[in-house]
A and B are shown apart, each in its own frame.
Chain A
Amino acid sequence: MGEVRLPDEIRPVMENGIPAQVGTCSADGTPNATDISRVYYVDSEHLALSNQFFSKTIRNIRENPRACVNLNDLEAFTCWVVHLEFDRSETDGPIFDAMDMQIEAIASMTGMSNVFKLKAADIYRVTSVEKIEYGPAS
Chain B
Amino acid sequence: MIPEEIVTFLEGATVGFAATRDAHLVPHIHFVAGWIVGDDRKTITCFFPPNYSKVLMPSLQDNGQFALTVLGSTSGPKASKPPRPDVDFHECYQFKGDYATSRLANAADAAVVERKGESFRKLFVPLFGFSEEACAARFKKPALAMTFPVRDIFDQTPGPGAGRRVET
**Size category, B interface:** 35 or more
- Report which B residues bind A (CB closer than 8 A): 15, 17-21, 25-29, 31, 49-51, 53, 63, 65-69, 71, 86-87, 90, 92, 94, 96, 128, 130-131, 133-135, 137-138, 140, 154, 156, 158-160, 162-163
A-B residue pairs, 9 tightest by C-beta: A33-B19, A23-B27, A31-B19, A23-B19, A74-B134, A25-B21, A33-B69, A23-B29, A25-B27
Interface digits, A58-87 against B, CB 8 Å rule (1 contact, 0 not)? 000000101111100011010101010000
Q: Is the CB of A33 within 8 A of B94?
A: yes
Chain B residue numbers with a CB within 8 Å of A21 are 17, 29, 69
Chain B residues in 8 Å Cβ range of A83 = 26
Q: With an 8 A cutoff between CB atoms, is A118 at the interface?
A: no
A68 to B17 CA separation, bound complex (whole angstroms): 13
Are A23 and B128 neighbours in the complex by a CB distance under 8 Å? Answer: no
How far is A111 from B17 in the complex, measured between Cα atoms in Å? 25
Contact across chains for B86 and A66 when beta carbons are under 8 A apart: no
